[in-house]
Copies of this chain bind each other. A is one copy, B any other.
Amino acid sequence: MSDLKLVSSNRCFDGEVRKYTHASSATGCKMTFNIFLPDTAISSKNKVPVLYYLSGLTCNEDNMITKGGAIPYLSEHQIALVTPDTSPRGAGVEGEDGDWEMGTGASFYVDATEEPWRANYKMYTYVQHELQQLVAESFSIDSSHTSIFGHSMGGHGALVLALRNPGHYRSASAFAPICHPTTSNWGRKQFAAYLGSNESEWAQYDATELVRSYNGPQLPILIDQGDADQFYSSEQLQPSHFVVASESGKHPVKLETRMQPGYDHSYWFIQTFMKDHISFHAKNLRE
C-alpha cells in the first residue's frame, strides 16, 4: 500500500515543509508524516541525506517540526527531515485512547504481538521498513546516508532502531531518551501490554540490553539529558545504565552523553540543543 497524498506544503528556509498521508500495510490504517526538503532535493533533484526524528509520548508528527527549531540547521546542511507520527491513529483498537501512556501517541516503536494491539501497533516495522522505503521511492533522498534521533519515548525508539540495524544509520542521537525500558515504569507497563508477559521478548526493544551485544560498525551516539527533568528524577530515563552498558560490549559505540544543568523534559530543552544534534548528524552523514 502507499497512496501517498500531499496534505499541505509551506515554504520554509529555502525549502518546503510538507505533510503527507498514506495507507500503511504495517499499521493497517492511514498514517501521517511531515518532511522538510531543501530546494536542492526539489528543483535540482539532487539526492540529500535524511534524518528521521521520533517523537515522545502524547506527541504526533507535528511537535518537533513546529517547536524543535531544526529547520535553519537542516537547510544549512542540506539534509531532509522526516517526522513520523508516534503510533497508529484512529485504527479503532479497543482502549487505545483511554490512557496517555498506552495506545494512541504511545506506541513505544515496537511490533506488538499481543491482543488487542498486534493487528495495528507495528511501529517498528512501519518506521524501519515501510516508511523509509516509501520516502526513498518518493523523494530525492540518498537513503544510504540516513541518521535517526528522537525525544524521550522517541529517543528510546531511535536508539533501538539504530542498535538493531548495524550499518543502516550513520549516527543516532536522543534528547532525554528512555534508556532502559525493561526496568522503568515507562517501558514495563507498555511492553507487558504490547509484547506479553515473557520478559525475554522485551530485550530486543531495550537500548541498554541491545548496546551490550551490539556488533557492527562503530555507531556515533549523542545523548543530552537535562538535570531538572522530572522524568529523569523519577528514574524513567536512566541514561547512566546505558552509559555503563555501552562500555561493556565487544564493539563499543562511540557515545557522548551530556548533562545539561537546569533543563527539563520540554521542547524548550530540545530546541536549545537542536543545533548541536543536527551538526553531529551532518558530520556523520557527510563521511
Contact = CB atoms under 8 A, between A and B. Distances in A.
A271 B65 CA distance: 12
For the residues of A in contact with B, the DSSP-based class is mixed
A226 B263 contact: no
A6 interface: no
Interface residues of A, number: 23
Copies in the complex: 2
B11 A268 contact: yes
Interface stretch (A66-74, A82-90, A107-115, A171-179): A66-74
Contacts of A226: 11
A98 interface: no
A242 interface: no
Contacts of A211: none
Contacts of A262: 11
Contacts of A271: 12-13, 71-72
Contact of A268 (B10, B266, B269, B275): B10
Interface string A218-245: 0000000010100000000000000000
24 contacts: A10-B264, A10-B266, A10-B268, A10-B269, A11-B226, A11-B228, A11-B262, A11-B264, A11-B268, A11-B272, A12-B269, A12-B271, A12-B272, A13-B271, A13-B272, A14-B272, A17-B268, A66-B267, A69-B69, A69-B71, A69-B72, A71-B271, A72-B271, A72-B275
